[in-house]
Chains A and B, each alone.
Chain A
Amino acid sequence: MEYRNFEQHIAITLKSEELALDIQGLINDIHGKKKRRKGGFIWLWAVLGVLLLGSGAVLLNKGNKKDNTTESTPDNYIANKSTPISTDNNEEKTIERITSDNSIKLSRGQMKVKNSKKVPPIWQTDVSSNINTAKSVLATTILAENIIEEEKFETIDINENVDLKLGQRLGNNISALENKDGLSILAQQKKHPFISRDKIVCPTFSNNGKLYLEIIPEVGIFLPIKKLENKSTEVNNVFNQRNSGEKSLEGINAGLYLKLSKEKSPFYIKAGLSWSRLSEKMPLTYSYTRKDTTQGIISVTVSQTGDTITYIYGDIIQERKISGNKTKHYSISMVDLPMAIGAEKRFGSWFAGVEAGLSLNISMKSAGNILVSDTSFTAIDAPIEYFKQSVGLSYFGGVHIGKEFNNAGRLFLAARARFIPDSFSTDQNRIRQSYHFVGLNVGYVYTF
């Protein structure tokens, strides 16, 4: 047989070769490759976040305005017949509802307090517990200034009763507050120095507080809980090796959040930007035989019949057994837009809370080397993508505990868990790689 015929035999035999494989698995992998458009979702999410924060602020502000209206509405000053307030005209028994229309016309004597409560005298009351009350009284002071234009107030020194911080907060208006009969405890005590504790009354004020915007920088560490799954029904050595040998290292996380809360309300909403980075370590022990072929051509010319014949002796084949150990790492960095709602309760200067929310991954980048065969690693940024560029939506929840150190700042420690339903690996990757995170974060809440 001529050599050319032998070559034809090789071609025909190899061309007709077929190998069995899991076709359905291959089909699933191929169709899973179709990429989703994520850009639109990112913008949608960002807009949603802004809308949520914005609408939250508007709603809470609206509530606040409504509360202020309530506070300034003279309904609070409808006299209670059983406990008449001490005023310049205590004999006045007429009950008249004050409205915005007639408020200017009414004399101070006509102003009464509805739902009055008896409170201890100021010297028996902790100043700090009166701060919020004083704030509310301040709001009514402004109303009173509008109503009683002709009245001149005396300024008295309240530093003995109110601490410096409170004075700074309330400013000069607090001094005016004291002289308003029927509007402050101080006024009552000034008028009746020996008034008994159970005789002092004060108006009922709204529980609704003002809106606070807080900024929260935080850092933390987390433990990635990894799950590897072989998507194919075929035996996958790489999967087996990675599943048994690849180890998740501790991840790091940093975030910056804006938190919107309302005074006296335990609930809050927050949104921000979060960055996380996790690493994987893969030690590999390998052993294989390497075959090197060196060209060893020896030509011998024999001239018996005048022809030149060249003999070529074959290659020198050397086999070497190669074994060794190597350890490679790869890392995945994520940028997320988290949004959460939560509740917080104070225990003196301490506070504790719970929160839960959604997080949209807007970017995911991977780097390093990943195992691709029994003996070799490859760079992750190779032509075949191993990890997605985004894992989409995830869910998180957690609890936190903290301590207030001053009026503007609080330090907290949070334990969080994050559930990421989507796979980190691309659809074409035959190993599905997913994560859940549990971690600890420390942060500082700065209140504006």
Chain B
Amino acid sequence: MNIEDIIVGCKEGNRKCQDALVQKFAPGLLALCLRYTSDRELARDALQECFINAFRFIGKYEGKGSFEGWLKRIAVTSSISLNKKFKQIYFEEVQEDSTWEHAVVPDIYSTMGKDEIMVVLKQLPDSLYLVFNMYVVEGYQHHEIAEVLGITESTSRSALCKARNRLALLIKKQDEVLVAQAS
């Protein structure tokens, strides 16, 4: 059963198609939800809410754009709204220079696995981590981030810039430590 058939079946309320959709996308979406929530249990709750909303509103999906992208956006929204209940995130609109643009990352970092990446990303402040994830990984635009998080576009841009600066710095510092250890 291909994705088009699954979508058509889901629009008709076909239980088998709904199950097939869950089977196909649940593992990837759980990883996504986990990036936006504090623990796995909340991530699973968010995932469940995501599919419930997807089945409810799948009639509105007109086939324009990637279905997976549509589904991921529901998952992100569900995760963020669920996580908001437990953790308040504050944003500061302090502009910084884009120093990350000049940063050079050693090639060794291109082999970083997902766990190592998450270790680095989790060192970012929550607000910066959130915006970075949405923009870089999920491909949101600033106006979309602003809408989902209830902030302004400039705040989103500022947060992304700061996140990139800090990430570049973290990599640099980590690299310095590694070089020092090697020498």
Q: Are A26 and B52 in contact (CB under 8 A)?
A: no
- Cα A234 to Cα B104 in complex, Å, equals 43
Known contacts A9-B112, A21-B30, A384-B82: A3-B168 contact under CB 8 Å: yes
Q: Are B137 and A15 in contact (CB under 8 A)?
A: yes
Most chain B CB atoms below 10 A, which of A20, A23, A374: A23
Identify which of residues 294-315 in chain A touch chain B, using a CB-to-CB cut-off of 8 Å.
295, 297, 310, 312-315
When C-beta atoms are compared, the residue in chain A nearest to B26 turns out to be A23
Which residues of B lie under 8 Å from residue A314 when comparing CB positions?
A: 166, 169-170, 173
Interface assignment of A408: CB less than 8 Å from any CB of chain B: no
Which residues of B lie under 8 Å from residue A428 when comparing CB positions?
A: 45, 48-49, 52
Instruction: Please pick, from A3, A5, A23, the residue contacting B164 in the complex, using a CB distance under 8 A.
Output: A3
7 contacts between A and B (CB under 8 A): A5-B105, A14-B117, A15-B137, A18-B28, A18-B31, A21-B44, A33-B48
- Cα A31 to Cα B55 in complex, Å, equals 10
Interchain nearest-CB distance for A228 vs B (Å): 15
- Among A164-172, A340-348, A375-383, A416-424, the stretch that binds chain B is A375-383
Identify which of residues 1-22 in chain A touch chain B, using a CB-to-CB cut-off of 8 Å.
1-3, 5-7, 9-11, 13-21
Instruction: Please pick, from B99, B101, B113, B171, the residue contacting A6 in the complex, using a CB distance under 8 A.
Output: B171
- Beyond A10-B136, A17-B32, A428-B52, list 9 extra A-B contacts (CB 8 Å): A1-B106, A3-B164, A18-B31, A19-B30, A26-B47, A232-B44, A373-B38, A384-B45, A428-B49
Interface assignment of B165: CB less than 8 Å from any CB of chain A: yes
Interchain nearest-CB distance for B83 vs A (Å): 11
Which residues of A lie under 8 Å from residue B97 when comparing CB positions?
A: 310
Interface assignment of A30: CB less than 8 Å from any CB of chain B: yes
Identify which of residues 141-183 in chain B touch chain A, using a CB-to-CB cut-off of 8 Å.
164-166, 168-171, 173
Instruction: Please pick, from B41, B121, B133, the residue contacting A237 in the complex, using a CB distance under 8 A.
Output: B41
Interface assignment of B39: CB less than 8 Å from any CB of chain A: yes
Which residues of A lie under 8 Å from residue B104 when comparing CB positions?
A: 1-3
Task: Give the 3 A-B residue pairs with the shortest CB-CB distance, closest first.
Answer: A18-B27, A17-B31, A6-B105
Interchain nearest-CB distance for A230 vs B (Å): 11
Identify which of residues 248-301 in chain A touch chain B, using a CB-to-CB cut-off of 8 Å.
293, 295, 297
Q: Are A30 and B52 in contact (CB under 8 A)?
A: yes
Interchain nearest-CB distance for B178 vs A (Å): 15
Which residues of B lie under 8 Å from residue A26 when comparing CB positions?
A: 22, 26, 44, 47-48, 51
- Cα A11 to Cα B41 in complex, Å, equals 24
What residues make up the interface of B, taking CB atoms closer than 8 Å to A? 15, 18-19, 22-23, 26-28, 30-32, 34-35, 38-39, 41-42, 44-45, 47-49, 51-52, 55, 81-82, 85-86, 94, 96-97, 99-101, 103-107, 109-110, 112-114, 117-118, 121, 123-125, 133, 136-137, 139, 164-166, 168-171, 173
- Cα A15 to Cα B117 in complex, Å, equals 12
Which residues of A lie under 8 Å from residue B19 when comparing CB positions?
A: 27
Q: Are B27 and A21 in contact (CB under 8 A)?
A: yes
Q: Are B169 and A378 in contact (CB under 8 A)?
A: no
Which residues of A lie under 8 Å from residue B136 when comparing CB positions?
A: 7, 10-11
Instruction: Please pick, from B35, B49, B96, the residue contacting A14 in the complex, using a CB distance under 8 A.
Output: B35
Interface assignment of A317: CB less than 8 Å from any CB of chain B: yes
- Cα A6 to Cα B169 in complex, Å, equals 13
When C-beta atoms are compared, the residue in chain B nearest to A374 turns out to be B39
Which residues of B lie under 8 Å from residue A310 when comparing CB positions?
A: 97, 99
- Cα A27 to Cα B22 in complex, Å, equals 7
Q: Are B44 and A14 in contact (CB under 8 A)?
A: no
Interface assignment of A372: CB less than 8 Å from any CB of chain B: yes
Which residues of B lie under 8 Å from residue A14 when comparing CB positions?
A: 31, 35, 114, 117-118, 133, 137
Which residues of A lie under 8 Å from residue B121 when comparing CB positions?
A: 10
Interchain nearest-CB distance for B65 vs A (Å): 16
Interface assignment of A430: CB less than 8 Å from any CB of chain B: yes
Which residues of A lie under 8 Å from residue B51 when comparing CB positions?
A: 26, 30
Interchain nearest-CB distance for B50 vs A (Å): 9
Which residues of A lie under 8 Å from residue B114 when comparing CB positions?
A: 13-14, 17
Which residues of B lie under 8 Å from residue A162 when comparing CB positions?
A: none
Interchain nearest-CB distance for B134 vs A (Å): 11
Q: Are A373 and B28 in contact (CB under 8 A)?
A: no
Which residues of A lie under 8 Å from residue B105 when comparing CB positions?
A: 1-3, 5-6
Which residues of A lie under 8 Å from residue B32 when comparing CB positions?
A: 17
- Cα A197 to Cα B127 in complex, Å, equals 102
- Cα A376 to Cα B41 in complex, Å, equals 13
Q: Are B48 and A30 in contact (CB under 8 A)?
A: yes
When C-beta atoms are compared, the residue in chain A nearest to B81 turns out to be A383
Per-residue 0/1 for A81-104: is the Cβ within 8 Å of any B Cβ (1 yes, 0 no)?
Answer: 000000000000000000000000
Interface assignment of A238: CB less than 8 Å from any CB of chain B: yes
- Cα A293 to Cα B52 in complex, Å, equals 36
Which residues of A lie under 8 Å from residue B166 when comparing CB positions?
A: 314-315
Interface assignment of A29: CB less than 8 Å from any CB of chain B: yes
Interchain nearest-CB distance for A327 vs B (Å): 18
Known contacts A3-B168, A376-B86: A20-B27 contact under CB 8 Å: yes
Q: Are A1 and B109 in contact (CB under 8 A)?
A: yes
Which residues of A lie under 8 Å from residue B44 when comparing CB positions?
A: 21, 26, 232, 234, 430
Interface assignment of A80: CB less than 8 Å from any CB of chain B: no
Which residues of A lie under 8 Å from residue B55 when comparing CB positions?
A: 30
Which residues of B lie under 8 Å from residue A372 when comparing CB positions?
A: 41-42, 86
Interface assignment of A236: CB less than 8 Å from any CB of chain B: yes
Known contacts A317-B123, A383-B85: A312-B15 contact under CB 8 Å: no
Which residues of B lie under 8 Å from residue A297 when comparing CB positions?
A: 96
Most chain B CB atoms below 10 A, which of A27, A29, A297: A27
Known contacts A26-B22, A373-B39: A3-B103 contact under CB 8 Å: yes
When C-beta atoms are compared, the residue in chain B nearest to A9 turns out to be B110
